[in-house]
Amino acid sequence: MIKKSHQFRLFIAIAFFCFLLSSVFEIYKRARIDIDGIIISRTFICIGEYKNRCYANYTIQSLEDNTRNVYNAWENDYSLSVNMNEGSYISKNKWDLGYSVDKVYRLDFPLKIYLIMIAVEIIIFLQGIILLPSMLRILTSREYWTSK
């Protein structure tokens, strides 16, 4: 029979693995943004029952080929700022966490917090993984299934 403490530790390991994926995905969502152009329009929209979920809808015109792209900036960690003005030049290279507005570099992504979270999540996940072979051995044993 698996001890309750081992079951709990395995559950914690699986939960923290999910948190680990979530933290890594937040960094990835910010890093994959690639924008270079001038903001030609900005619309600030609030949704929800209390109008508490707001975002800025930017139309950005590329300087290279004059194409227009729409970017939605939410009030979360991975989005760019919701407070950029029309006429501002914005540049963000893919895989860079920072960006520049009117040639002023901004690094407003809380990378240190995410790295600390990832380190803690890896440590807790590895504690559960260390127990995994013994738990699998118990689960595959005949005594586990016949003792209930």
pTM: 0.71
| Percent of the chain whose predicted confidence (pLDDT) is above 90 | 30
Whole-number Cα distances in Å, 146 to 1, 98, 132, 140, 142: 10, 58, 21, 11, 6
- Label residue 145 by pLDDT band (50, 70, 90): low
Task: Give the start-to-end residue ranges of the domains of the chain.
Answer: 4-27+113-146, 35-92
Structural contact between residues 36 and 91, judged by C-beta atoms closer than 8 angstroms: yes
Whole-number Cα distances in Å, 45 to 57, 64, 75: 7, 29, 11
The whole-angstrom separation of Cα 89 and Cα 42 is: 13
pLDDT tens digit string along 3-50? 666 677 777 778 888 888 888 998 899 899 899 999 999 998 888 777
Of 138 and 1, which is predicted with more confidence?
Answer: 138
Which residues, 6+ apart, have CB-to-CB distance to 78 below 8 Å?
A: 26, 27, 29, 30, 109
What mean pLDDT is predicted for residues 127-137?
71
Q: How many CA atoms lie within 13 A of 124 on its CB side?
A: 19
pLDDT of residue 13: 76
pLDDT at 139 exceeding the cut of 80: no
pLDDT at 63 exceeding the cut of 90: no
3 state SS of 86: coil
